[in-house]
Structure 1
Amino acid sequence: MSFSRPIKYQRRDHPNGDICCVPQCAISGKFNSVVSFHRFPRDEPTRERWRRNVRRNDLVIKNNTRVCSRHFVSRAVSQGGRRRLERGAVPELFAWNDYSLPAARPTVCETTHRPEGEPTGEIEMDVGLLLRCHDYHANPEASSLYTAREKIEAQRQEIQALRKRLHEVTLKQSFGLERFLASDDDIRFYTRFASYRHLQAFWRHIEPATSRMVRVGSRSSSTLSTTAAPDPAGQQSRCLPQIDELFLFLVYLSLGLTEKDLGDRFNIVQCAVGGIIKAWVHLLYTLLGVGIWMSPDAIRATMPRVFGKYSDTQVLIDCTELRCQMPSSVLVQSKMSSQYKSHTTLKGMMGVSPNGAVTFVSSLYSGSVSDKELFRQSGIVPLLDKDMAVMVDKGFGIDTLVPFKVYRLPFQSKTSQLSQDHVPVTRDIVRLKMHVEKTTKSVKGNKLFDTIIPLTIAGSINQLFAVACLLTNYQKKPLDKAWCEAP
């Protein structure tokens, strides 16, 4: 609102508490002069026009809510007797529309001649003095209730936006399961589980046993526990939440990252990473390896129809080799050297049931050991049932080791082709052995075993290999009958 000249008012002998409700208007009932105060009309359409023109969102209209006459045009104010507004009058003069104020009517003091020098009782004040006399401007920070609340609301929204942005930035900088839970593609990449829902189901399965986990490492890394009992103090001083520790271990298997890299990603010290990996590999090796061997009755109950005439198969056997770092000892090199891989390797054997579940994992042996010798030393022979058969690759000459039937790919002579009778047998066995081949491929999909294994983890490589094999039972579904019946 624009004020081009000082305004003269006479103090009232009996001031009242009337205050103009228009934002940035300082008129009150402490002065009379030309100013009068008017209630909001009862007519609802006119009342709504008043409210809209006042532009004060927090305005609550009460019986004592007033608008001063300075916001009405001159023709809207009656000049005779009690000052009333014309019917349908609406305030139109405000600061937001830069309207000029009507000329002030001369007061009695102005029209009465007084001798020069006689006090008139008038107060000449400019806008600044008038604003300072208004109750709204007793506190400079609260010059307008509407403006103050508007600023507070804007600041509140800005704070909420900043908090949301800070949470997003913090989440992007942190490397934990919470960061990737919305993306099943990321979960498959980092953990090899099909989705976050599958990973959560696996976590609920093993979570009760995590309280008995034996911590490995120093106290400074918060990963030491001398007993298998729960340690509340250790829980509070843990470097990472337990589910993030599991996530770290799965990332270690899936991507084969170094401990230093994992420490940088999870923002923990390198020695703590080593303690977490050792603790979780021992826990999962103990939990997942219990009761995995299936009885003959369970095998028959879950036998896929695709096995047909081979329905007495109890387990499918296959060997796999993992390339490892070449040791410095020449003697050890000769023992670990593999003719098949032309490299130093570790060799292990895996048993898969006809429905696709891993039921046996052997220890790792030097790469020079034969398949037959590995089968004999693995300890699987006492587990086999004499009324059932095993299915093996053509390199397993185990007929003298087991007294029961062995399904094996026919050998091909160097000078002759396979006979016509061997063709359907070869085709059927190759088709069925895809079960164990897919499982082996899934295990080798973990980058830790797909690259050259360093000798620094030789002490725990057996447990790591067994856990990777057993995790495939949870990362993928066993082969069901519907799948096996498909052509």
Structure 2
Amino acid sequence: MWFGSYDLLMRFWALIEPSLPSMVSVTPAQRGTFEPSSTVSRYLQPIDEMFMFLNYLALRLKQHDLADRFGVHQSTVSQIITTWSNFLYAVLGSVRIWMAVEKIREHLPAEFKDYADTTVILDCTELRCQCPSSPLLQSEVFSVYKSHCTLKGLLGVAPHGAVTFISPLYAGSISDKQIMRESGILSLLRPGMAIMVDRGFLVGDFVPCKIYRPPFLSGRSQMPVGEVRETQAIARLRVHVERLPLRLFGNINQLYTVACLLTNYENGPLVKAWTKKQGSTSAGLF
């Protein structure tokens, strides 16, 4: 589940409950209309609807399975999922997640002492999707890297684990450079900041700040010891982004964004998970 305890779940509920009157419920798809939640017949209490939605995201449960578990029709499940993805997209998306440099430094983990000016760790993630029947659309969403049709998004995470940037999803054929230009992240970066990226993230010609990137081997038989250590250090720190739980279905842009934002409400930063292992997973990251 998204929350480490029942108490955290109820704290999250208390956070969003005041916004429930503004929720717009989606009627069954064949009607193609939206109605205020007060005019739509509710089969479950709002907190149970939210719990169903979280189960859908976190456990990858099918809609017919959720219908059986919650004792409602499958069309009701679909309605609830769409309604709550739109609602949480609006409520959580209204909170500014980009952090001031001073706040990032205030919460900087000790493991980042050699990269203390790091403002954000950036990585592109690709979500496998069904291939369209149109050859033109297939060419748009086909990812050479994944050898499949995908949607691609840029994610940013602060050194202490908080998600601080989420781009919209783009067709899988988009390059890292292009998504960097179009996502809006450049307007947030300033001289004096630093970003941490993957080895293949070649954006140094237009990014207005320092970049930490593992060195290339560049045809050499082996790396110098210093570069090997730098590669391993950055790999351990970049694992923040690589471990984000992206369990996404259906209403994709809303679900994708909500799933990423929900990680900020979990029990503690992602950094806790890997500091216990101290690099045991770094070997396979690049």
**TM-score in same-fold range (> 0.5):** yes
Give the conservation status (yes or no) of the 8 Å contact 2:214–2:231. Answer: yes
Q: How does 1:15-414 map to 2 (within 5 A)?
A: 191-217=1-27, 225-226=35-36, 231=38, 234=40, 237-289=41-93, 290-414=95-219
**Which 5+ residue runs of structure 2 have no aligned equivalent?**
279-286
TM-score, length basis structure 2: 0.87
Question: Counterparts of 2:68 and 2:133 in 1: how far apart (Å)?
Answer: 31
Q: 1:363 to 1:294 in 2, by over 3 A?
A: same
Question: Counterparts of 1:418 and 1:358 in 2: how far apart (Å)?
Answer: 32
Question: Counterparts of 2:177 and 2:214 in 1: how far apart (Å)?
Answer: 15
TM-superposed deviation, 1:360: 0.8
Give the conservation status (yes or no) of the 8 Å contact 1:315–1:390. Answer: yes
TM-superposed deviation, 1:471: 0.7
CA distances 1:106-125 after superposition (whole Å, capped 9, x unpaired): xxxxxxxxxxxxxxxxxxxx
Question: Counterparts of 2:186 and 2:157 in 1: how far apart (Å)?
Answer: 15
TM-superposed deviation, 1:484: 6.1
Q: How many residues are paired up?
A: 274
TM-superposed deviation, 1:363: 1.0
Q: CA RMSD in A?
A: 2.5
Deviation above 3 Å: which 4+ runs of structure 1? 483-487
Greater Rg by CA: 1
Give the conservation status (yes or no) of the 8 Å contact 1:263–1:270. Answer: yes
TM-superposed deviation, 1:224: 5.3
1:477 aligned onto 2:268 = yes
Q: 1:484 to 1:386 in 2, by over 3 A?
A: farther
TM-superposed deviation, 1:485: 10
Give the conservation status (yes or no) of the 8 Å contact 2:163–2:264. Answer: yes
TM-score, length basis structure 1: 0.53
Give the conservation status (yes or no) of the 8 Å contact 2:194–2:211. Answer: yes
**Which 5+ residue runs of structure 1 have no aligned equivalent?**
1-190
TM-superposed deviation, 1:391: 0.5
Q: 1:479 to 1:278 in 2, by over 3 A?
A: closer
Give the conservation status (yes or no) of the 8 Å contact 1:192–1:254. Answer: yes
Choose the corresponding residue for 1:423, options 194, 218, 228: 228
Question: Counterparts of 1:486 and 1:263 in 2: how far apart (Å)?
Answer: 40
Q: Secondary structure at the match of 1:225?
A: strand
Give the conservation status (yes or no) of the 8 Å contact 2:3–2:9. Answer: yes
**Letter of the structure 2 residue corresponding to residue 322 of structure 1:** L
Identity fraction in percent: 51
**Letter of the structure 2 residue corresponding to residue 424 of structure 1:** R
TM-superposed deviation, 1:424: 2.2
Question: Counterparts of 1:245 and 1:366 in 2: how far apart (Å)?
Answer: 31
Question: Counterparts of 1:252 and 1:485 in 2: how far apart (Å)?
Answer: 30
More strand by share: 2
**Letter of the structure 2 residue corresponding to residue 201 of structure 1:** R
What is residue 144 of structure 1 aligned with on the other side?
Answer: none
